[in-house]
Amino acid sequence: MVLAIDVGNTRIKASVFEGGNVLENFIFEKNELEKKIKEILKKFQNCSDLIVASVGNVEKKSFLAFEKDLNIHFFTHEDVFPFINRYATPKTLGIDRMILASGATLQFPKQNRLVIDAGTCITYDFIDENDNYLGGAISPGLRLRYEALHNFTARLPLLTLEAPESYIGDSTAQAIHSGVVNGFVYEIDGFIDEYRANFSNFIIILTGGDAEFLAKRLKNTIFANSNFLLESLNQTFQYKIDND
């Protein structure tokens, strides 16, 4: 069994895998990390490997506390990946984006793939049908957009995510929801339209914490999987074992 952990900017997500099958998923706060790992290992005593992809501010020693019980692997840019990294600044490419690109490459071979990860930030990652990672885009996620409107204005309230009643907001709250949510959806659909205009044989993968909320609002046909990063982490680990 493998325990895969994704340390994001906001929270930590984890999954226990047996082969390619997910046995259970977990979401918890960063200050709960060691406690939650202990609970998971108590429940799944056959776990032999702990694999980590981290963009968040969590020290390695929190994981290394378990090195007597598990083989621990932190994914870095030095690992083996199934794509060619054509990014102009490859060392600055987030490890989470590399894992997503890896999962897309392994799961959808010989296709042009656009991975959209809607979390704290929204990232777009494009891997062509010849397995070249070409880059993408980064912009603020839904929560950051709500916070920016509140933090950088004098009077706008801080709202939480809510589906707008109409594209015409008839109150300040509804105008904010319309601007944030509809603007976000129009951005994603616009990027997808641009890629589709330039590439055929194309698949779009939508993932991240806001994936389910967004999936039914997008006009474009997509493959939505909120757990795609952890599944990709497990697939990339198996790829590494086979190709080291």
Active site residues: 96
Sign of the Cα torsion 241, 224, 97, 35 reads: negative
- Which DSSP symbol is given to 178? I
The angle, 0 to 180 degrees and rounded to 10, between the axes of the packed helices 183-198 and 142-151 is: 130
Task: With CA atoms as reference, report the closest residue to 235 among 106, 127, 130, 49.
Answer: 106
Write out the two tokens for 140: 């603020």
DSSP string across 87-128: -SSGGGS-HHHHHHHHHHHHHSTTSEEEEEEESSEEEEEEE-
Question: Burial of 119 by CB count in 10 Å (0-12 exposed, 13-18 middle, 19+ buried)?
Answer: buried
Sheet strands (E) in 119-161: 121-127, 132-140
Both tokens of residue 243? Answer: 């190709």
Q: Which residues pair with 113 in a beta bridge?
A: 127, 203
